[in-house]
Amino acid sequence: QVLLKESGPGLVKPSQTLSLTCTISGGSISSDSYYWNWIRQLPGKGLEWIGYIYFSGSTYYNPSLESRIAISVDTSKRQFSLRLTSLTAADTAVYYCARSARDYYYAMDVWGQGTTVTVSS
């Protein structure tokens, strides 16, 4: 059973940079059958797709965040990471990582439990 787990700081100061990591267990990250997403959910709000990465390192970002984000992958550790710069309170959210699978026409079939990030001084 494939499991995803997010890790990172729960509290970050405004203007700083957020770094989150998603660790995959029970499966491979190095397959062209998958790509790996970051999604966030603002407090009491809906879902916002941030971007995704293939194991090869190719990335696709939400244009609204593209200037502030970078997603990277470390296949040796079975991890992929999100870096979000110039944080403001508006970035306070639950951040999820999720897998998109070819078997599901790249719908997101496995999700992490989410990690809450608060941006506050």
Partner 1 sequence: EIVLTQSPGTLSLSPGERATLSCRASQSVPSSYLAWYQQKPGQAPRLVIYTASNRATGIPDRFSGSGSGTDFTLTINGLEPEDFAVYYCQQYVRSPHTFGQGTKLEIK
* Binding interface with partner 1 (CB under 8 A): 46-49, 60, 62-64, 96, 98, 100, 104-109, 111-114
| 85: its two tokens | 């710069």
Q: Which is nearer to partner 1, 62 or 92 (CB)?
A: 62
- C-alpha to C-alpha distance for 99 and 111, rounded to whole angstroms: 6
Q: Which is nearer to partner 1, 14 or 57 (CB)?
A: 57
**Single-letter code of the amino acid located at 121:** S
Which of 96, 100, 118 lies closest to 10, judged by CA? Answer: 118
- C-alpha to C-alpha distance for 70 and 28, rounded to whole angstroms: 22
Minimum distance from residue 105 beta carbon to partner 1 (Å): 5
Q: Which is nearer to partner 1, 11 or 42 (CB)?
A: 42
Minimum distance from residue 63 beta carbon to partner 1 (Å): 6
Minimum distance from residue 121 beta carbon to partner 1 (Å): 27
Q: Which is nearer to partner 1, 105 or 121 (CB)?
A: 105
- C-alpha to C-alpha distance for 60 and 5, rounded to whole angstroms: 21
